[in-house]
Amino acid sequence: MRAIRPYQPEDRAAATLVYFRAVREGSAAFYTEAERAAWAPSESPNPDRPDKLLDQDCLVAEENGRMTGFFSMDPTGYLDMAFVIPEVMGDGTAAQLYDTLMARARARGLTRFTVRAAEQSRRFLSRRGWTVTGHDRLKEGDQVFDICLMALEDAA
């Protein structure tokens, strides 16, 4: 049984592992090994960096006590993180996280949302009404990624 709940400080290691696996395994069809290694260099949290998810509205999905995904949004409506482990890709976990996070954001009065999306996220978000507003390049380590700038505005 899948549960969606708020992120807690003790979730950092599990969220880092979800991120690592989503990038390294789940994105294999879209990015080279070098790109994925630069994007997700370690499966452990960097102790020198603060946990930015504590300053965002972040929800995690759990099944049988194991984190299977997380989505986060900052207070401005910027969708910052959206990752699930490969085993649950396509099973509704991401959709449930997205729907719950968006409902919470709308309840706080947000009506405009933005994201810098990689290819997999672009596809997922396009199916939910987001539109590409531009393109950018993101440098991670020695790799440069093409990303889409996307937005979603609720009807007035």
Residues 65-80 pLDDT 10s:
999 999 999 999 999 9
Residue with structure tokens 């900052």?
A: 74
Over residues 46-62, mean pLDDT: 95
**How many residues are listed for the chain in this entry?**
156
Burial class (CB in 10 A: 0-12, 13-18, 19+), 101: buried
pLDDT mean across residues, the chain: 93
Of 59, 16, 66, nearest to 41 by C-alpha is 16
Given a contact cutoff of 8 angstroms between Cβ atoms, the answer to whether 101 and 57 are in contact is: yes
Taking the domains of the chain in order of start, what are their residue ranges? 2-110
What confidence category does residue 145 fall into, taking pLDDT thresholds of 50, 70 and 90?
confident
| Residue range 2-110 in CATH 1.25.40.340 | no
